[in-house]
A and B are shown apart, each in its own frame.
Chain A
Amino acid sequence: DTEVTQTPKHLVMGMTNKKSLKCEQHMGHRAMYWYKQKAKKPPELMFVYSYEKLSINESVPSRFSPECPNSSLLNLHLHALQPEDSALYLCASSEVDWGPYEQYFGPGTRLTVT
């Protein structure tokens, strides 16, 4: 099974809401990632988890809060977002977070902040 799943597919939230994005993989990968992608732009790295510990935070605002409950699951908690946070949020995984390993991406969650 080389699939990364993400839920929900679409999410509309107000600026005062709290919501969470979920990501799951069962490939035994020990590195998981969150990316943000705006229209017609490449994915931009937000967070890297390695062996369930946060290893990279690309200076992401605190209204985005990642969590890795176990080696298969990755969450992104959202709170007090701004309209400019509307984007496609992608989760990815790889065997480890170093070396020549490809990343497997999920289908993404399309987030709209109103």
Chain B
Amino acid sequence: SQKIEQNSEALNIQEGKTATLTCNYTNYSPAYLQWYRQDPGRGPVFLLLIRENEKEKRKERLKVTFDTTLKQSLFHITASQPADSATYLCASMTGGYNKLIFGAGTRLAVHP
């Protein structure tokens, strides 16, 4: 079955460092991947979408890559701040519909 996995349940880093989160997919080839941020008790907020023919996408301090050979997407936050502390979810569409399946999420904690 189609699976999308985020291997790290939690990631702790020091303020100012770069956070790198990993998303792997198996048994399918998504046309694009999405990344969302979720704060406790709130709905996810869309951050970035990357298509399979794009190697890299950037938005301010955020960068996402898509490696179809490794079946992996990496999400980077540069110059991290305590306000970046949240759960980050990788998601992809299955089939032709916008039926998003989410990875389990990585809980990022940025310490001052």
A42 CB contacts on chain B under 8 angstroms: 89, 102-105
Q: A100-B32, A108-B42 are in contact. Are A43 and B102 (CB under 8 A)?
A: yes
Q: Count the A residues whose beta carbon is within 8 Å of the partner chain — how many? A: 28
Contact call B97/A55, Cβ cutoff below 8 A: yes
B101 CB contacts on chain A under 8 angstroms: 45
Contact call B89/A100, Cβ cutoff below 8 A: no
Most chain A Cβ neighbours within 10 Å, of B51, B100, B103, B104 = B100
Contact call B43/A108, Cβ cutoff below 8 A: yes
A90 CB contacts on chain B under 8 angstroms: 43-44
Contact call B46/A99, Cβ cutoff below 8 A: no
* Residues 48 to 84 of chain A near chain B (Cβ within 8 Å): 48, 55-56
A-B contact pairs, 29 of them (CB 8 A): A31-B98, A41-B104, A42-B89, A42-B103, A42-B104, A43-B102, A45-B100, A48-B97, A55-B97, A56-B99, A90-B43, A90-B44, A92-B43, A94-B98, A96-B98, A97-B97, A98-B98, A100-B32, A100-B51, A102-B46, A103-B100, A104-B46, A105-B36, A105-B43, A106-B43, A107-B42, A108-B41, A108-B42, A108-B43
A-B pairs, top 9 by smallest CB distance, nearest first, are A105-B43, A42-B102, A102-B46, A97-B98, A100-B32, A105-B44, A90-B43, A108-B43, A107-B43
